[in-house]
A and B are shown apart, each in its own frame.
Chain A
Amino acid sequence: MKLLPNNTRPALLALLASAALAVPATAQTKLDIAIVGEADTFDPMMSTKDVVSIVTQHFVETLYTFDENWGVAPLLATELPTISDDGLTYTIGIREGITFHDGSTMDSADVVASLERWKTQSPRGKGVADKIASITATGPFEVTIQMSTPYSPLLSLLAFSNSAAAVYPSEILAETIENVVGTGPYMIAEHVPDQYLQLKRFDAYVSRSEPSSGGAGARKQLADEIRFIPVPDPNTRVEGLLSGQFDFADGLPSESFARIEASDVADPMLLRPFGWPIFAINHKAGLLTDLKTRQALQAALPIDDMLFAAFGDDNFFVVDGPMYPEGWTWRNDAGVDKYNQNDQAKAADLLKETGYDGTPLRILTSRQYEFHFKMAEVAKVALEAAGFAVEMNVVDWATLGQQRNDPALWDIYITHSPFLPEPALTDLYTSSSRLGWAEPEKDAIVAQFTVETDQAKRQELFAQLQQKLYDDVGFIKIGGFNALNGIRQGLTGVTATPWPFFWNASK
């Protein structure tokens, strides 16, 4: 029995305190956000980790961002760029009157210096560096990017908060930025490692005037403070949410859904769909360099059983073959007849044709994400039924991160990704990725896809790419899965996204 409902205790305490002091006070709105771990860096240019994006987007901004429909929208740029007919010249207007947290004013020199650093040091920026001929300030508030070859994902890359093309004052730019200074609606007040990151409202922030839409439009700075609290244990995040300690908790276990739903303190927030589990295939070495063996693998996998074992509740997964979910522009049905075949007899026949000698199929996975491991367990049974010898290599995430860079150590590794707004934001399709999926026709499609600027043609090319993915078994999308977050009752202005933000949140 509760002595007092948790959500009434702070209010009651506040009432008592104000009665005791008998002086008027201005209430400070503070948001306590439980995140899955500490951000390794506050420089989002240098990391592709989601937790870094979630935190840093509040104090560091980019030229562009994504609206609620994942369309690119201006943020520090005045508007979408003017792109020359040949797709080689991007002229970008920069907003005037934008102030950095150190009090300096942003101009084109800062943008150019930041983009140069992004191009040479950021994991995603380096991927596009060879296509950029020059980045120049063509006015105090205008920047021109000259491409050596058309590259249609450029705007999405400039808008992405992950390995972000962040804009910093040119004075602080270095290989490692000691104190990150941005233009965002909040600024860093205090960081105590593994305890909290305290952000305070940046009073000189100039919001955009358009209505808020996803990350785009007005950023209203409704809360005075936002505190990001790293809480690595998922159960501790649940208890903290339900006890009223946290206003929002990220990445909760699916088993906690019913408890949160029944709570009178917090509500579940489902991000439907969040992302897709992936069986990444080694095309550089080993068993799966052979197409027929890959096809046998594809035929044998019981996708629905794997997803059920992994997530246990229909609320949290969807058996879905297309690479993008319903409602996304990239969705198409090409090749999906090969999805979820669950046909071990066919797999056995294919395997026989290859003259398979019993070499173990090595699955590299981790229990860092329990659903990876559970999927692998079910897959193992089905693959063994098809005649594969399967060797499970279950390691911690750090080891997996290292071993997957060595093609001699694995045939499949298991990972997952959120659905990214632009297919080119993942390198899985490219032959230069650690998978090494190289196939001439596919590579030609990828090359064309990245230079094509007409959206309808890009969609058609992506359908061809998806067809190739299934035909050549480049990697295997297992399905779609949903993510569960928890939000305090009464907290508004937070939308379900893989990278939740709180500048429009109030309670």
Chain B
Amino acid sequence: MAVYIFKRILGLMVVIFLVLTIAFVIVRLAPGDPAALMLGPEASAEDAALLRTQLGLDRPILVQYLTFVFNAVQGDLGNSIFFNQPVTQVLLGRAEPTIFLSLFSLLIALVIATPVGIYAAYRRGSWLDQGAISTAMLAASIPSFWTGLMFQRYLATELGWFPASGYGGPDAGFWVRMGHLALPSIVLGIVNSALIIRFTRASMLDILGEDYIRTARSKGMGERRVILRHALKNAAIPIITVVGLTFALLVSGAVVTERVFNIPGMGNLIVSAVLRRDYPVIQGTLIVVATLYVLINLATDLLYLLVDKRVKY
């Protein structure tokens, strides 16, 4: 297994290098001038050119790229053009809301999806199954921004049950900040539960048709035990896969939801960085996101070992 992990980490290095290069090229291919944006509408082209020089953006692209790679391998992702802070510091500032938002959303999604998916499979063809599948399809079809807007308007503004947006002010303690994540977590939880419901149901349906389930039942084992002990455990691998992918996507930044609720996380940061043409932040965010994505996938693969002893690496 150590060899497997080592190979995966080597693969991770390659992925990061590719992401690093692609990110560098893409952001520079996109038109738009960070200097002109920073100086505002009345600034002249000469002012913008001067600022570009100060920011080092007038150097040859190859020089910029090599400097970027050289610094990146030493853990220095450069300085944000907009914030005038190290990119690592900017990213660290976004870690807390994104991590907790992802965890809460995933938790809510699992709390909804696992029982619903199992029950839908167990009662295949019943109105409960049909209802669960239809609701899941509906949840997956409605864009998260619409769900976010509706929840924000009715649950936060009209009913006052949740903060409408943001992440708390200067005096906000940990729990106040977490309170600000409640509504976006519910939105993301509902949206992401749809896929997990479908995977859980499909996976459980496959397993429930297996001989050993019939054998377990014929031996007089209780239904709860058959479902939770035998069926769910064997159905877990596809479910873990989709949960892992969902978590990776959430950690990468729930762009739309963070924007709607003004959560200062990775998703919001990357949108703002693109609009501001803050090249180092775009590059840094992409590298971090790619790394997290690969690491979460690795963790997911390793999790297979725990749930299925037949899996070998």
Contacts and interface: CB of A to CB of B under 8 A. Distances in A.
Interface of A: 1-4, 6, 9, 30, 32, 37-38, 40-41, 46-50, 52, 123-124, 126, 162-163, 175-176, 189-190, 192-196, 198, 227, 229, 231-233, 235-236, 239-240, 242-245, 395-399, 401-403, 405, 415, 417, 426-427, 433-434
B160 A232 contact: no
B42 to A, nearest CB: 4
Contacts of B36: 398, 401-402, 405
Contacts of B149: 235
B160 A193 contact: no
A244 B36 CA distance: 36
14 contacts: A6-B157, A47-B38, A123-B39, A193-B85, A195-B166, A227-B169, A236-B152, A236-B261, A240-B262, A396-B32, A397-B275, A401-B37, A402-B31, A402-B36
A396 B164 contact: no
Interface stretch (B44-52, B246-254, B297-305): B44-52
B164 A48 contact: no
A398 B165 contact: no
Nearest to A9: B160
Nearest to A230: B262
B140 interface: no
Contacts of A190: 170
Contacts of B82: 38, 40
A231 B258 CA distance: 11
Contacts of B37: 40, 397-398, 401
A231 B39 contact: no
Given A3-B159, A3-B160, A198-B170, A245 B165 contact: yes
Contact of A398 (B84, B262, B275): B275
B163 interface: yes
Nearest to B161: A3
Given A233-B262, A396-B275, A398-B34, A239 B157 contact: yes
A242 B164 CA distance: 9
A195 B170 CA distance: 9
A272 to B, nearest CB: 22
B260 A233 contact: yes
Interface string B131-170: 0000000000000000001001100111110011111011
Given A49-B40, A123-B42, A195-B167, A403 B31 contact: yes
B268 A196 contact: no
Contacts of A405: 33, 36, 45, 48
B38 A40 contact: yes
B277 to A, nearest CB: 5
Given A233-B260, A398-B34, A399-B31, A47 B48 contact: no
A233 B32 contact: no
B93 interface: yes
Nearest to A49: B40
A229 B263 CA distance: 12
B94 to A, nearest CB: 8
A48 B39 contact: yes
A192 B41 contact: no
A428 to B, nearest CB: 10
A231 B43 contact: no
Nearest to B163: A245
B83 interface: yes
Contacts of A38: 82, 272
B288 interface: no
A231 B259 CA distance: 9
A208 to B, nearest CB: 28
Contacts of B152: 236, 239
A282 to B, nearest CB: 13
A49 B275 CA distance: 15
A232 B259 contact: yes
Contacts of A403: 31
Contact of A48 (B30, B42, B159): B42
B30 to A, nearest CB: 8
A66 B202 CA distance: 69
A83 B170 CA distance: 47
Contacts of B43: 47-48, 123, 163
B40 A123 contact: yes
A243 B40 contact: no
A399 B275 CA distance: 9
A236 B260 contact: yes
Given A49-B41, A397-B275, A401-B41, 13 more contacts: A2-B159, A40-B82, A162-B40, A162-B42, A163-B42, A176-B84, A235-B260, A236-B262, A240-B262, A243-B156, A398-B31, A398-B37, A398-B275
A397 B275 CA distance: 8
Given A240-B166, A398-B33, A405-B45, A232 B272 contact: yes
Nearest to A197: B170
Contact of B90 (A40, A193, A434): A193
B276 interface: yes
B269 interface: yes
Contacts of A47: 38-40, 43
A233 B260 CA distance: 7
A444 to B, nearest CB: 23
Interface in B60-85: 82-85
A258 to B, nearest CB: 14
Contacts of A198: 169-170
B31 A239 contact: no
A163 to B, nearest CB: 7
B198 to A, nearest CB: 31
Contact of A123 (B33, B44, B169): B44
A233 B267 CA distance: 14
